[in-house]
């Protein structure tokens, strides 16, 4: 992959405007001029505000990049085209109306700003009053990037601590492997069975399932008891009554 082209800071501003709507829903009314239904979210409002700012600052608007997609989508056609043009040096300034129109998360925003800084592309967000070409904008970016790095460091520490705990206990979660064993009074179960109580009633009284009791009978952990099927559950387990 070729290295991104480095843009010199003293070059004239060539601005790429990015606008996004989070829905593709159209209005119920039909446009009389086009005969089509207009979108519920109009991108013209974002575009006009940014074009006005660019004109006031004497910046050339090279291209308008648009997307109609949810912000949860990290890859979008318009955004991908903007990033590609920035890497090739076709634009040296990216302008958005606000952060959430551009990035789906703080992490995506930071990664994009870090790349813009490397290739010499300035980033402008009107609502947040951020312009990374100014001293204040550079300071804000440094602070945001610093907090993001701190968050990554904390996350790494938690992962390392979790892995150490898991290694000590033998599982990813740190919990004992396998299903937790059901604890019940086996002596009481044996005594109740000796008294002639059915397995289903013993299970209800001790708070366990019939299958759990039956498993212990087969293992011999309830003593040498002869299972006598006297309920539907026991019949299903034993395959039929036995003496």
- Burial class of 230 by CB neighbour count within 10 A (0 to 12, 13 to 18, 19+): middle
Band of the pLDDT at 242, cuts 50, 70, 90? very low
Q: Which residue has the tokens 């992959």?
A: 1
Cα 138 to chain center, whole Å? 29
Quote the CA–CA distance of 81 and 17 in Å, as a whole number. Answer: 12
Q: What is the mean pLDDT of residues 32-49?
A: 69
Band of the pLDDT at 54, cuts 50, 70, 90? very high
Does residue 206 contact residue 185 with C-beta atoms inside 8 Å? Answer: yes
Which one, of 203, 196, 197, 193, lies nearest residue 223 by Cα? Answer: 193
Cα 34 to chain center, whole Å? 40
Quote the CA–CA distance of 67 and 23 in Å, as a whole number. Answer: 10
Instruction: Output the pTM of the full model.
Output: 0.54
Q: What pairing do the DSSP bridges indicate for beta strands 37-39 and 26-30? A: antiparallel
Q: Give the pLDDT confidence score for residue 235 in this predicted structure.
A: 46
Q: What is the mean pLDDT of residues 216-231?
A: 61
3-state secondary structure of 113: helix
The backbone torsions φ and ψ at residue 19, rounded to the nearest 5 degrees and listed phi first, read -125, 145
Q: Higher pLDDT residue, 36 or 51?
A: 51
Query: Does the pLDDT value for residue 166 go beyond 80?
Result: no
Sheet of 60-68: strand order equals: 60-68, 14-21, 93-96, 122-125, 130-131
- Residue 61 is inside which H or E element, if any? strand 60-68
Does residue 97 contact residue 49 with C-beta atoms inside 8 Å? Answer: yes
Which one, of 181, 239, 187, 240, lies nearest residue 212 by Cα? Answer: 181
Q: What is the pLDDT of residues 101-127, one digit of tens each?
A: 888 777 788 888 889 989 999 999 998
Structure tokens at 233: 């559950």
Q: How many CA atoms lie within 13 A of 157 on its CB side?
A: 6
Q: Give the pLDDT confidence score for residue 241 in this predicted structure.
A: 35
CATH fold label, 14-23+37-131: Rossmann fold (3.40.50)
Band of the pLDDT at 239, cuts 50, 70, 90? very low
Of the ranges 158-167, 188-197, 204-213, which one carries the lowest mean pLDDT score? 158-167
- Burial class of 133 by CB neighbour count within 10 A (0 to 12, 13 to 18, 19+): middle
Which one, of 28, 228, 24, 11, lies nearest residue 119 by Cα? Answer: 11
Query: Does the pLDDT value for residue 158 go beyond 50?
Result: yes
Q: What is the dihedral of CA 92, 106, 40, 123, to 10 degrees?
A: -20
Beta bridge partners of 31: none
């Amino acid at each position: 992959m070729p290295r991104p082209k480095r843009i010199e800071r003293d070059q004239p501003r060539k601005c790429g405007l990015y606008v996004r709507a989070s829905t593709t829903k159209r209005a119920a009314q039909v446009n009389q001029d086009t005969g089509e239904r207009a979108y519920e979210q109009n991108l013209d409002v974002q575009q006009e505000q940014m074009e006005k700012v660019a004109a006031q600052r004497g910046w050339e608007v090279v291209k308008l990049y648009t997307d109609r997609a949810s912000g949860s989508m990290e890859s979008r056609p318009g955004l991908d085209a903007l990033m590609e043009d920035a890497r090739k040096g076709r634009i040296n300034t990216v302008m958005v109306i606000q952060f959430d129109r551009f990035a789906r998360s703080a992490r995506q925003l930071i990664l994009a700003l870090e790349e813009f800084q490397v290739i010499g592309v300035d980033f402008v967000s009107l609502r947040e009053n951020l312009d990374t070409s100014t001293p204040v904008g550079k300071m804000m970016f440094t602070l945001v990037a610093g907090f993001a790095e701190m968050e990554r460091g904390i996350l790494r520490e938690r992962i390392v601590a979790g892995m150490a705990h898991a290694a000590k206990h033998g599982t990813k979660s740190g919990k004992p492997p396998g299903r937790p064993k059901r604890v019940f009074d086996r002596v009481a179960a044996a005594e109740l069975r000796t008294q002639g109580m059915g397995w289903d009633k013993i299970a209800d009284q001790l708070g366990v399932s019939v299958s759990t009791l039956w498993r212990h009978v087969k293992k011999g952990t309830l003593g040498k008891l002869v299972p006598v099927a006297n309920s539907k559950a026991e019949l299903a387990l034993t395959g039929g009554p036995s003496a």
